[in-house]
Every structure is written in C-alpha cells, then in structure tokens.
Structure 1
C-alpha cells in the first residue's frame, strides 16, 4: 500500500500566489487542482466546460502554466483535446 501521498491533502500549492502570474492563470491552476483532487482529467474539454472567460484567455493561461513547468501536457490530441498533469512545485520554473 502506498502511503507517500495523503489523498485528503489538497493539491494546490500556496506558492502559486507568489510567482507573479496573472489572476486568470492562477484561476486556471486552481481549476486544475480541483480536477486533480476530484479525480477528473485535466483536459481542454473539462477546463472549457467550467471556464467563464474567453477561450483565448484560457489557452493563454495554460501556455503560461506550461512555460513555468507547472502544467505538463501528457497527451496532445489536437485542437481542444489535450490532457495535462500538474507537476510537483519543486520542478516549477520561478
């Protein structure tokens, strides 16, 4: 049995608020954490389903998270069909 991660511990890392990201980008990060904690795939489709900003702003924020190595694309499925995973904050590019 793996005891390395307490399932009740939330994914979100408070450091996200201290690295100079835009409010929209932080919002996307929080949505991704909620999906991960809920066992839901972090995908373009799922993010678009709950995002209330523009599609362009969502994808710009995703790119920002990828650039900082906070979010990693694990499946590239073409337009609006990508799947991502959150990385450990030790690998973030601050």
Structure 2
C-alpha cells in the first residue's frame, strides 16, 4: 500500500476504469485526506462529502469491491480507517 510520505497517493489509473463520477470523486477525496496525513475514516470523508451518508457508504463499498481501498481493523473505541491499495492490485 502506498505510503503518503513517499508521494501523492492518487493513481491516474482511476480514470481508465470507467467508474461512476461519484466513485472517482470519493477516491480523490480519500487520496486528499491520506496525502494530508490524516486518517481516512467515514467521519473525515463525511465532513467533505457533498452527498448524503447513503451515497458515501455506497461509494466506499464500490471502492472496496474493486480493491482500490481496504478497511483496516479498528481498535476498540476507534473508528475504522481505510487504506489505499496499490493500483496493480485493483480489480
């Protein structure tokens, strides 16, 4: 998984996958949060997401299904975090 300290997280490949605009937008938002050094959580995303919670969760699920992001196990009392997956592992 890319390290945000090694350079930008965003991969150009996202634009060639024929994904919905909302899915790509959420991916870009995840990248921006990760590149800022913050944890990519539902709460962090919801603060910046223009849609409702239903659309946010739907697009997160789509990104997970394509193995573009993955959810890390959360410790007790902490929100789940998402990590970006290397683009050579996307499906």
Q: Which runs of 5+ in 1 are unaligned?
A: none
- Report 1 or 2 for greater relative contact order, CA contacts < 8 Å, sequence distance ≥ 6: 2
Structure 1 runs, 4 residues or longer, greater than 6 Å off = none
Quote how far apart the aligned CAs of 1:82 are: 2.4
2:65 to 64, 67, 76: 67
Q: Relative to structure 1, is the Cα distance of residues 6 and 87 closer, same or farther in structure 2, using a 3 angstrom cutoff? A: closer
Q: What residue in structure 2 maps to residue 86 of structure 1? A: 84
In structure 2, do the counterparts of structure 1 residues 20 and 38 end up closer, same or farther at CA, with 3 Å as the change threshold? Answer: same
Query: Which consecutive unaligned segments of at least 5 residues does structure 2 have?
Result: none
1:42-76 CA-partner distances (Å, limit 9, x unpaired): 00110011111111111110000000000100035
Could you say which structure has the larger radius of gyration?
1
Q: CA deviation at 1:32?
A: 0.6
User: What is residue 18 of structure 2 aligned with on the other side?
Assistant: 20
Higher share of residues assigned helix: 2
How many pairs are equivalent?
86
TM-score scaled to structure 1, two decimals?
0.83
Superposition deviation, residue 20 in structure 1: 1.3
CA RMSD of aligned residues (A): 1.9
How many angstroms apart in 2 are the aligned matches of 1:82 and 1:31?
A: 17
